[in-house]
Amino acid sequence: MIITRVFNWLTDGDNWKDSHLNTGILTQLEAHIRFTGIALAVAILIALPLGMLIGHTGRGTWLVSAANAVRALPTVGVLVLLTVIIAPHFHGRTDTGYLIPTEIVLVLLAVPPILANTYAGIDNVSPAVRDAAAGMGMTGPQVLFQVELPCSLPLIFSGLRSATLQVIATATIASYVPLGGLGRFIYDGLAQQDYPQMIGGGVLVAALALTTDLIFATIQRYAVSRGITGRFPRGRPAVASEVQSAVLTGPEVSHA
Amino acid sequence: MIRFDTVSKHYPDGTVAVDELNLVAPSGQITVLVGPSGCGKTTSLRMINRMIEPTSGSIWIDDVDTAGMATHELRRRIGYVIQHAGLFPHRTIVDNVAAVPLLLGHNKKQARTRAVELLERVGLPAHFAKRYPAQLSGGQQQRVGVARALAADPPVMLMDEPFSAVDPVVREQLQDEFLRLQGDLGKTIVFVTHDIDEAIKLGDQVAVLRVGGRLAQLAPPQELLSRPVDAFVAGFVGRDRGYRALAFTSAGTLSTHAEQTVALGGPVPSGSDDGTWILVVDAAGTPHGWLNLEHLRAGEETVTEEMLYRGGTLATQGGTLRAALDACLSSPSGRGVVVDASGCLIGSVTAREVLDLIEARTAMAS
């Protein structure tokens, strides 16, 4: 039974530890998180400020479309191409020649969803809210950081989470060029026809993706204002009844 | 005081939104800009806080040229209320109201305390402070919008159709409260509306603008109704001008006739003075409606709410001629019901008597 064998592979303590022949799950997991973390950090540094700027100014929206077009590139093809170009420039006992192409590919993958969602989030802020913010005397950066950014957090988070899932899943190709990561088990398992190892690697990738998403979901829950998510305490009605004011029901408007 | 000095706004496509506008909005008064769509009323308003920059001309606030100030500093000194309130959805109501004081660097705790006071001032209970805009109705949001504009106590307020997105009943409430508030605060207000009735109700003076951004007439509302300067203004202020103008004249103390009444919940009387109609009041003396003795059904022996004709309006003693006349015209018995300030019955007047009063006033005025 394949499920049992996958389970056995995953629960075998020796598979988690490094030996002189094999690199264990823990080390590969750490490498996987490292590739993913670097790619996401770089993508956020590029896409978040850019998306905010485009959304705030309304200029350069073509960049969002252009970034979305990049999504159409075949990931493995780009990786191989970049590796062929870049790797020969590095010699000796270093991974850098493989790491750079891998990270470029992952960043290319992560930028479009973050950029598009950040732009859309800022762009979707109600014109009345923006008008009120500027009209009360907020400067451009104040409008952006105090109003537009907090209002667009749900969309920004959704872009971030979708980028993270994609990067975690795709970071397995780091093992296609000779780098580590959880993809190692998938490629090795496939090559050795060791299917429990291959499926086990896949399960680990999925588990990592789900865990990371859960962490982001938790952060999002606390970072986004209740006024935007609509999670109001103790089942209060969304719209309270209109307050009656005694001053207003004077006899001149009442009926006899 | 806000002064427009030959202010024009032209757009690159050739559209003239505002054409050489000269206008003074006096301190402590409400100046209403009114006109059809495309008359440049909102553009004119937004040029005051430089949300739109004039093409030529200058706008002065108390002898300071607004063009010489940094826009964000200018705007922080001007209250700004817009049609859809534009509350910040991610902030609680109290933090929405405290927004401008916080921008001005005021102490956070003091700003919040004052914000809660302001909420009560605009008719919202203090427990609304911790709610979010999404939890409020449109009318409540608009009250918060007014409180927010007042928070830094600006001498000048700009209001762009603030009450036009709420239903008519709430709108009337908001208008009345706005007038009461302005009575206390005496701000210099420029108010934009497309609704001539709102303009006449709220304005100390009304500026009627015509399409193409030219000022057609600037006058107090009463004068606008009685002496429209041309056919455009006359057409815009609309029908029933004579009748509506009565709303600006106090009826004084009306001399009333005693009105025969019957108690709500009491036995149905066998007859009345005029043979048909009798006024029904409750224990406090508040009129509830008219009872038609000719249309009683069999078995109806006590006076209940369901039996009453409720179409008549009430006139308040000391109110306007319009309210007095309307009470008479809307009363099925032809006798207009007059009540005191607390809503208790004083007596009745007839339309003939009110018309005599109007004629006497007109004779006195001419």
Same domain, B89 and B173: yes
Residues 24-53 of chain B whose Cβ lies under 8 A from any Cβ of chain A: 49, 51
Hey, are the CB atoms on B343 and A253 less than 8 Å from each other? no
Q: How confident is the model at residue A250 (pLDDT cuts 50, 70, 90)?
A: very low
- Give the span between the Cα atoms of B348 and B352, in whole angstroms: 12
Hey, are the CB atoms on A243 and B136 less than 8 Å from each other? no
pLDDT of residue B216: 93
Question: Identity (one letter) of the amino acid at B359?
Answer: E
Contact status of B176 with chain A (Cβ, < 8 Å): yes
- Give the span between the Cα atoms of B17 and B291, in whole angstroms: 57
Nearest to A135 among B75, B90, B135 (CB): B75
Question: Identity (one letter) of the amino acid at B6?
Answer: T
Q: How confident is the model at residue A244 (pLDDT cuts 50, 70, 90)?
A: very low
- Give the span between the Cα atoms of B223 and B228, in whole angstroms: 7
- Give the span between the Cα atoms of A167 and A39, in whole angstroms: 8
> Rounded to a whole number, what is the distance in Å from the CA of B229 to chain A's nearest CA?
32
**Residue B58 domain flag:** yes
pLDDT of residue A249: 33
**What is the tens place of the pLDDT at every residue in B167-181?**
888 888 899 999 999
Complex confidence, ipTM: 0.81
Q: What is the mean pLDDT of residues A217-240?
A: 78
- Give the span between the Cα atoms of A222 and A234, in whole angstroms: 18
- Give the span between the Cα atoms of B153 and B79, in whole angstroms: 8
Interchain CB contacts (distance < 8 Å): A and B: 149
Same domain, B126 and B64: yes
Q: How many domains does chain B have?
A: 2
Same domain, B302 and B219: no
Contact status of B153 with chain A (Cβ, < 8 Å): no
Where a domain ends, among B204, B238, B272?
Answer: B238
Q: Which residues contact A86 (CB under 8 A, 6 or more apart)?
A: A97, A100, A101
Same domain, B137 and B217: yes
Q: Which residues contact A217 (CB under 8 A, 6 or more apart)?
A: A161
Predicted confidence (pLDDT) at residue A42 exceeds the cutoff of 60: yes
Where a domain ends, among B183, B206, B238?
Answer: B238
Question: Identity (one letter) of the amino acid at B27?
Answer: S
**Residue B10 domain flag:** yes
Neighbouring C-beta atoms of residue B318, cutoff 10 Å = 13
**Residue B227 domain flag:** yes
pLDDT of residue B247: 82
**Residue B244 domain flag:** no
Same domain, B165 and B266: no
- Give the span between the Cα atoms of A125 and B82, in whole angstroms: 16
- Give the span between the Cα atoms of B21 and B5, in whole angstroms: 7
Same domain, B157 and B204: yes
CB A124 within 8 A of CB A56: no
Residue B343's domain comprises 261-365
Hey, are the CB atoms on A137 and B315 less than 8 Å from each other? no
> Rounded to a whole number, what is the distance in Å from the CA of A142 to chain B's nearest CA?
9
- Give the span between the Cα atoms of A120 and A233, in whole angstroms: 29
Contacts 24+ apart (CB under 8 A), A206-215: A208/A29, A208/A32, A208/A33, A208/A168, A208/A182, A209/A164, A209/A165, A209/A168, A209/A169, A212/A164, A212/A165, A212/A168, A213/A161, A213/A164, A213/A165
CB B177 within 8 A of CB B122: yes
| Averaged confidence pLDDT in chain A | 87
Q: Which residues of A touch B337 (CB under 8 A)?
A: 256
Return the CATH number at B134. 3.40.50.300
pLDDT of residue A73: 87
**What is the tens place of the pLDDT at every residue in A59-109?**
999 999 999 898 888 888 899 899 889 988 888 777 888 889 999 999 999
Same domain, B153 and B6: yes
Phi, psi of A223 (to 5 degrees): -85, -30
Q: How confident is the model at residue B162 (pLDDT cuts 50, 70, 90)?
A: very high
What are the residues facing B335 on neighbouring strands? Answer: B350
pLDDT of residue A255: 43
* Interface-testing mutation among A157, A243, A247, A249, with chain B (most B C-beta atoms within 10 A): A243
Predicted confidence (pLDDT) at residue B304 exceeds the cutoff of 90: no
> Rounded to a whole number, what is the distance in Å from the CA of A222 to chain B's nearest CA?
13
Contact status of B99 with chain A (Cβ, < 8 Å): yes
Q: What is the mean pLDDT of residues B217-245?
A: 87
- Give the span between the Cα atoms of B83 and A180, in whole angstroms: 59
**Residue B101 domain flag:** yes
Q: Which residues of B touch A241 (CB under 8 A)?
A: 137
**Residue B180 domain flag:** yes
**Residue B250 domain flag:** no
Q: Kindly give the pairing relationship between strand B64-65 and strand B277-281.
A: unpaired
Three-class DSSP labels, chain B: CEEEEEEEEECCCCCEEEEEEEEEECCCCEEEEECCCCCCHHHHHHHHCCCCCCCEEEEEECCEEHHHCCHHHHHHCEEEECCCCCCCCCCCHHHHHCHHHHHCCCCHHHHHHHHHHHHHHCCCCHHHHHCCHHHCCHHHHHHHHHHHHHCCCCCEEEEECCCCCCCHHHHHHHHHHHHHHHHHHCCEEEEEECCHHHHHHHCCEEEEEECCCEEEEEECHHHHHHCCCCHHHHHHHCCCHHHHHHHHCECCCCCCECCCEEECCCECCCCCCCCCEEEEECCCCCEEEEEEHHHCCCCCCECCHHHCECCCEEEECCCEHHHHHHHHHHCCCCEEEEECCCCCEEEEEEHHHHHHHHHHHHHHHC
> Rounded to a whole number, what is the distance in Å from the CA of A129 to chain B's nearest CA?
4
Which of A121-130, B175-184, B301-310 is least confident? Answer: B301-310
Same domain, B266 and B361: yes
Neighbouring C-beta atoms of residue A143, cutoff 10 Å = 20
What is the CA angle B244-B245-B246, rounded to 5? 90
Instruction: Please give the C-alpha separations between residue A25 and each of A76, A183, A208, A213, A233, in angstroms, as whole numbers.
Output: 24, 11, 12, 21, 43
Which of B117-126, B236-245, B262-271, B285-294 is least confident? Answer: B236-245
Q: Which residues of B touch A248 (CB under 8 A)?
A: 172-173, 176-177
Q: In this predicted model, which residue has the larger pLDDT, B244 or A140? A: A140
Same domain, B229 and B347: no
Hey, are the CB atoms on A238 and B323 less than 8 Å from each other? no
pLDDT of residue A234: 60
% of chain A beyond a pLDDT of 70? 91
Same domain, B197 and B295: no
% of chain B beyond a pLDDT of 70? 100
pLDDT of residue B366: 67
R_g (Cα) of chain A, nearest Å: 25
CB B361 within 8 A of CB B322: no
> Rounded to a whole number, what is the distance in Å from the CA of B131 to chain A's nearest CA?
8
* Closest by Cα among B310, B110, B302, B177 to A242: B177
Hey, are the CB atoms on A248 and B173 less than 8 Å from each other? yes
Q: Which residues of B touch A137 (CB under 8 A)?
A: 71-78, 100, 103
CB A172 within 8 A of CB A205: yes
- Give the span between the Cα atoms of A182 and A253, in whole angstroms: 76
**Residue B213 domain flag:** yes
pLDDT of residue A256: 39
The structural domains of chain A, ordered by start, are 2-253 (1.10.3720.10)
Total-model pTM: 0.79
pLDDT of residue A223: 94
| Averaged confidence pLDDT in chain B | 91
Same domain, B59 and B115: yes
Q: How confident is the model at residue A124 (pLDDT cuts 50, 70, 90)?
A: very high
Return the CATH number at B328. 3.10.580.10
Tokens in use for A202? 């896949």
Hey, are the CB atoms on B173 and A238 less than 8 Å from each other? no
- DSSP H or E run through A38: helix A25-57
Same domain, B230 and B273: no
